[in-house]
Amino acid sequence: MAANTDDKDMKFEQALKVLEGIADKIKSDSVELDEMFVLYEQGVHYLKICREKLAEFEMKVQILNEKMSKEIPVEDENG
């Protein structure tokens, strides 16, 4: 499960699934310290991808909300 340049094109769900798999491996008692460190590094990589994807989605939602508020007039309390 080596990190590569194609990882940036991963969907959020794919990166999250890989990250969850890494977390499960780290939690197991059968992982040696050296392997655990490699898994940790990979986990950081996939966590970064997830955070970047979430930031992209948040920005898109914000842009859509701003567009919508300009197109649809906001009613006051009296309707």
Q: How far is CA 16 from CA 8, 55, 61, 63, in A?
A: 13, 14, 20, 25
Q: Is residue 25 within 8 Å of residue 38, measured between CB atoms?
A: no
Amino acid found at 7: D
Q: pLDDT tens across 50-63, in order?
A: 999 999 999 999 99
Amino acid found at 24: D
Q: pLDDT tens across 25-44, in order?
A: 999 989 999 999 999 999 99
| % of the chain with per-residue pLDDT over 90 | 70
- Walk me through the domains of the chain, giving residue ranges and CATH numbers: 11-69 (1.10.287)
**pTM given for the model:** 0.76
Q: Is residue 19 within 8 Å of residue 47, measured between CB atoms?
A: yes
CB count in 10 Å sphere of residue 38: 15
